[in-house]
Amino acid sequence: MLENKLGITNEVELSKKEEKITKLKALELFDTNKINEFEVGTFKGLSDIHSYLFSDIYYFAGKIRDVNLAKGNFRFVPAMYLEDTLNIINSMPQDTFNNIIKKYIEMNVAHPFREGNGRSTRIWLDMILKKEINKVVDWSKIDKDDYLLAMERSPIKDTEINILLKNALTDRVDDRTVYMKGIDASYLYEGYNTYTTNELDN
């Protein structure tokens, strides 16, 4: 169980509190237009997103992890190589849809934070897509299992995730409803579905 600023020692309670607080922060990020002030396509930009979402809960918000992480049999970039890896990702091109997705996959493999990587990185991806091709992903159109499987395979072959994301693109880049539904879907991928952004918004 992760050490947290709230002093919560029950994992289920922490999970619910984290979901509620960070979903509200994600809404705030959009409503205040703060999201458009962050760097696009850099680790600095991703770190700012992560920090904004998680700083009320975790001491490590926005900070590069110093521990090794794995999910199932997959090992993310070892902590000792993280900084170099992030510098390489920063310099990757983001001029086309395919290049943007390659960059997104590499950032996922890097997994720079102790927790909250997927949720932060999907917002980061949308900011790159918005800037470079004036589209965002409508995450509510992407099935959880399809997404997780495609991401698992993406370091070896990126065809599946490419197709999934391309088919879910929308030009409604400033649509609050698309954003809110996207946040809910993004959280659902990680197993967080106690609250909807709609409920929290009222």
The pLDDT tens digits for 120-175 are 999 999 999 999 999 999 999 999 999 999 999 999 999 999 999 999 999 999 99
Domains of the chain: 11-201 (1.10.3290.10)
- One-letter amino acid at 21 equals I
d(CA 154, CA 145): 14
Q: Which residues pair with 74 in a beta bridge?
A: 71
Residue 201's pLDDT is what?
A: 87
- What does the pLDDT profile of the chain (202 residues) look like in tens digits? 789 999 999 999 999 999 999 999 999 999 999 999 999 999 999 999 999 999 999 999 999 999 999 988 889 999 999 999 999 999 999 999 999 999 999 999 999 999 999 999 999 999 999 999 999 999 999 999 999 999 999 999 999 999 999 999 999 999 999 999 999 999 999 999 999 999 998 7
